Amino acid sequence: MHIRFTKMQGAGNDFVVLDETQGRLGLSPAQYRFLADRHFGVGADQILSVRPAPAEGIDFEYVIHNADGGEVEQCGNGARCFARYVHDKGLTSKTTIRVQTLAGVIAPELAADGRVRVDMGRPELQAERVPFDASGLEPRRQGQAQTWSLALDASGPWITPVSMGNPHAVLLVADVDTAPVATWGPQIEQHPRFPQRVNAGFLQIVSRGEVRLRVYERGAGETLACGTGACAAVVAGIRLGLLDSQVQVHTRGGLLSIAWAGADDDAVFMTGPATFVFDGQIELPEVP
Ligand SMILES: N[C@@H](CCC[C@H](N)C(=O)O)C(=O)O
């Protein structure tokens, strides 16, 4: 099968975007993995599919597959690229679009400066809803947050579980450059207390309005940036009493601005870049 695609990136988190507004391509998990493969395919952290609106009041459906071929609930950097794609490819003239994801409706908005601002919805901090299995564990309270030990070694790590529609475990580190992302990342991602696996965020507090962040993503490994990871890290940092409501998040691939007013019902807002890289076409192998 021969398909057309667009390569995009948001703060270095890179995507293959597929237009399925005129009909589904019906790709298998192995074909998503092929597209994401950096040696044999195009190369991407996630594959984003643009589908027609599933209901009244919604503009598009946004479907996300990780590089491992699994479908996931949410992707923040992808949401910005999705909005830039549907607007610049002429699929809509709206500058604020309502997008259905597996995790609910989000609302990206194209800003005048070229960046995209996304209402990412409200975070979920109830451990069992992330989901995180805390049975038999004693939490440690810090500020308004609870942290839990994953008992990987004597130091913990102590994590704050947060859902942004997809699951995150946020842990504080002194320096992201020396944090054990490559060793702890996969262990946290696969930890049995996270029944749906998890994205692991390593958060360094620089000041009350500035952090550095590295994320080992579920189904993709460490990426240059993770939008939902940035939202989850700022929510955790605010609840831990360490951050104010507007935070600049430095990732390895760029800067994301996150705002959260701090109450359970408040939505998290993320602003950042969304960049077109190239259009292409590729022959997909017929793999199930
Ligand atoms: N890169 C993303 C998150 C993509 C999904 C994630 N790996 C998961 O499995 O939940 C972002 O920018 O949010």
For the entire predicted model, the pTM comes to 0.98
* Active site members: 75, 226
Say if residue 140 carries a ligand binding annotation: no
Query: Known binder of ligand: residue 199?
Result: yes
What is d(CA 266, CA 125) in angstroms, rounded to the nearest whole number?
Answer: 12
As a three-state string, the secondary structure of 7-52 is: EEEECCEEEEEEECCCCCCCCCHHHHHHHHCCCCCCCCCEEEEEEE
Residue 100 CB–ligand 1 contact under 6 Å: no
Cα 77 to ligand 1 centroid, rounded to whole Å: 8
Q: Can you give the residue ranges of every domain in the chain?
A: 2-121, 127-266
pLDDT of residue 75: 98
Which pLDDT band, with edges at 50, 70 and 90, does 287 fall under?
confident
How many angstroms is it from 229 CA to the middle of ligand 1? Answer: 7
Domains 2-121 and 127-266 share a fold: yes
CA distance 103 to 91: 23
CA 57, 116, 77, 43 dihedral sign is positive
212-224: pLDDT as tens digits: 999 999 999 999 9
Amino acid 132: pLDDT: 98
Tell me if 218 CB under 6 Å of ligand 1. Answer: yes
CA neighbor of 220 nearest in space, from 11, 43, 40: 43
Q: Per-residue pLDDT for 236 more than 80?
A: yes
Q: Could you tell me the two tokens for 37?
A: 């493969």
| HSE toward the beta carbon, residue 29, CA cutoff 13 A | 7
Q: Taking 80 as the threshold, does the pLDDT of residue 288 lie above it?
A: no
Q: pLDDT tens digits for 9-54? A: 999 999 999 999 999 999 999 999 999 999 999 999 999 999 999 9
Our answer on whether the CB atom of 106 is closer than 6 Å to any ligand 1 atom is no
Q: Is the peptide bond before 157 cis (omega within 30 degrees of 0)?
A: yes
User: What is the per-residue pLDDT across 120-156, written as a single tens digit (0 to 9) for each?
Assistant: 999 999 999 999 999 999 999 999 999 999 999 999 9
CATH of domain 127-266: 3.10.310.10
pLDDT of amino acid 131? 98
Nearest one of 110, 111, 114, 97 to 62, comparing CA atoms: 97
Pick the CATH number of 2-121 from 3.10.310.10, 2.60.40.1080, 3.30.200.20, 3.30.300.30: 3.10.310.10
Give the mutation target among 75, 194, 218 for probing the ligand 1 site: most ligand atoms within 8 A of CB: 75
